[in-house]
Amino acid sequence: MPQVNKKDILKIISSILDIDQRLTGIDYLKEFIKNIALNLDVKYALIGHPTGDSLSELKTDVVWAVNDFADNFVYNLKDTPCELVLTGERVCIHDKNVIKDFPDDKLLQDMGIEAYIGAPVVSRTKTGVSSILVLLDDKTMENKDFFVSIVEFLALRASAEITQHHIDESLQHKVDQRTLELKKAKIEIEKINKNLEKRIKEEINENKIKQQIIFHQSKMAAMGEMIENIAHQWRQPLSVISTSATGLILKSEISTLNKEEIVNTMECINNHTQYLSHTIDDFRKFFSLKKEKNTFCLKDSIKKVFKLLSSEFANSNINIIENTQEVCIISYEYELIQVLINILNNAKDQLLEKEIKEKYIFIDIKVKENVEISIKDNAQGIPTKLLHKIFKQHFTTKSKQNGTGIGLYMSNMIITKNLKGEITVSNKKFTYNNTDYKGAEFKIILPHKI
């Protein structure tokens, strides 16, 4: 490769990083490795990771060979240039005669490799070198300094993607682990219920203990759904933070970074970090054991609900139509939010189960002597013979694996016992955008102050 200036380097890097940002993990790394090989005109490019603590073997994650992807393989690192990279060299380059420098490296001999360059890839979520980026060619790597600089930068970019991949894996692992714990907890609670029912009836305050068990079960189920929603909501801001940081590194490497760009980029990173922090704060408040009355505006409470549910509702293509008056009340906000989430999740499930094409949920707030909240969907309604059972304990219209029958029962308990209000359900026929619909309507009536 002839001498290249900074402008040419920037153009090459831009071409390599011209990857669909919707791709993540291995899909992103495949496009990344392919672009490196094609833009730097090398026959082979790969990224892999050590298989154990001894750093004696490398398992490839992506391999580009000549003009296509090749199968992954495990490679013994003894007496190879890769061994040097994993044991401390920042960038290891042999721009020519690499097979003479490493005569015992059979793979280099078999492939007829003339030039080699490798760089460590470090994940910020793991200790030590997590992967290695390697380029090989059957011709001399002209312009040695260019290859060292660009491969070192590309290793940093790979580090950002692998770090993001590790974060995503960690989040998914936590979600899976929590879901498994919830399933185990549900099984244990069901066993406890079977053993307790007879003893509770004969010995002590049956209703109080049952309600405590049910409330705990409902809360655990809700917590699992919230964790999954938060994992979805975190993906986009985490991607923005990673991309912004990578941009700073790139511009720093090519000396085009100015103070204004640093300030703007750091402000962007800070804003998205604050968003992640606020999401966790809302999650903690929602599941806090300490319940306190406070003054809050219902419009703000609705916003908090959809902050927690927005990704799931957007993925389900559900349209939310709001017609709300501004009103503030003194009550238990996060208990009301729990009820709203229960009702909205039930509406969502009915819309999906009945495969409604144009899915709507309408939220209305009216101020009269009391405050009236209406939540209505177009999921064709609830069978009339079941309406009077809807708030009964363990009653559900869902299949057994999809519902416990405690969500609406607990919603009724919260509204009537804790919030001193009323909750009713009925079927409604209505017209929206010149189209007739039918669906269930839940009405919540609350006092201005309790």
pLDDT digits (tens, 9 = 90+) for 77-107: 888 998 888 776 678 999 999 999 999 998 8
- Asked whether residue 114 falls in the same domain as residue 261, the answer is no
- Asked whether residue 269 falls in the same domain as residue 335, the answer is no
pTM for the complete prediction?
Answer: 0.44
Most confident of the following: 186-200, 274-288, 341-355, 436-450: 436-450
Using pLDDT thresholds of 50, 70 and 90, give the confidence band for residue 285.
low
- Asked whether residue 379 falls in the same domain as residue 242, the answer is no
Question: Could you tell me if residue 1 is inside a domain?
Answer: no
Give per-residue pLDDT as tens, 103-140.
999 889 989 999 999 999 887 656 666 789 999 999 99
Number of domain units in the chain: 3
Q: Which of 162, 189, 221 is the last residue of a domain?
A: 162
Using pLDDT thresholds of 50, 70 and 90, give the confidence band for residue 437.
very high
Give how far the C-alpha of residue 254 lies from the chain's centroid of Cα atoms, to the nearest Å: 33
CA atoms in the 13 A half-sphere facing the CB of 98: 30
Residue predicted with more confidence, 381 or 168: 381
Question: Could you tell me if residue 263 is inside a domain?
Answer: yes
Average pLDDT over every residue of 359-373: 95
Judge whether 443 and 373 are in contact, CB under 8 Å.
yes
Token pair listed for 34: 């392919």
Token pair listed for 372: 């009236």
157 CB-contact burial (10 Å; exposed 0-12 / middle 13-18 / buried 19+): buried
Distances (CA, A) of 396 to 263, 347, 377, 382, 388: 54, 13, 18, 11, 12
214 CB-contact burial (10 Å; exposed 0-12 / middle 13-18 / buried 19+): buried
Structural domain including 281 reads 167-286
Judge whether 96 and 144 are in contact, CB under 8 Å.
no
Residue predicted with more confidence, 237 or 253: 253
Average pLDDT over every residue of 64-85: 91
| pLDDT computed for residue 221 by the predictor | 64
State the virtual CA torsion across 88, 89, 94, 100 in degrees, nearest 10.
Answer: -30
Is the pLDDT confidence value at 202 over 80? no
Using pLDDT thresholds of 50, 70 and 90, give the confidence band for residue 375.
very high
Question: For position 115, which CATH number holds?
Answer: 3.30.450.40
- Asked whether residue 67 falls in the same domain as residue 157, the answer is yes
Average pLDDT over every residue of 352-371: 94
Question: Could you tell me if residue 391 is inside a domain?
Answer: yes
| pLDDT computed for residue 259 by the predictor | 80
CB neighbours of 127 closer than 8 A, spacing ≥ 6? Answer: none
Give per-residue pLDDT as tens, 311-347.
778 888 999 999 988 999 999 998 898 889 889 988 9
Q: Provide the b/e sequence for 32-49 (b: ≥16 CB within 10 Å).
A: bbbbbbebbebbbbbbbb
Distances (CA, A) of 230 to 3, 70, 88, 166, 307: 49, 37, 38, 17, 9
Percentage of the chain exceeding pLDDT 90: 37
Q: Which of 233, 262, 286 is the last residue of a domain?
A: 286
Is the pLDDT confidence value at 200 over 50? yes
Give per-residue pLDDT as tens, 411-431.
888 899 889 999 999 999 999
Question: For position 340, which CATH number holds?
Answer: 3.30.565.10
Least confident segment among 4-8, 39-43, 170-174: 4-8
Average pLDDT over every residue of 145-166: 85
- Asked whether residue 135 falls in the same domain as residue 248, the answer is no
- Asked whether residue 11 falls in the same domain as residue 144, the answer is yes
Question: Could you tell me if residue 357 is inside a domain?
Answer: yes
- Asked whether residue 82 falls in the same domain as residue 118, the answer is yes
Residue predicted with more confidence, 288 or 164: 164
Give how far the C-alpha of residue 167 lies from the chain's centroid of Cα atoms, to the nearest Å: 10
- Asked whether residue 275 falls in the same domain as residue 299, the answer is no
- Asked whether residue 319 falls in the same domain as residue 171, the answer is no
Give how far the C-alpha of residue 165 lies from the chain's centroid of Cα atoms, to the nearest Å: 11
Judge whether 23 and 31 are in contact, CB under 8 Å.
yes
- Asked whether residue 350 falls in the same domain as residue 311, the answer is yes
Q: Which of 268, 286, 304 is the last residue of a domain?
A: 286
- Asked whether residue 341 falls in the same domain as residue 400, the answer is yes
* One-letter identity of residue 259: K
Is the pLDDT confidence value at 27 over 80? yes
- Asked whether residue 374 falls in the same domain as residue 352, the answer is yes
Judge whether 387 and 441 are in contact, CB under 8 Å.
no
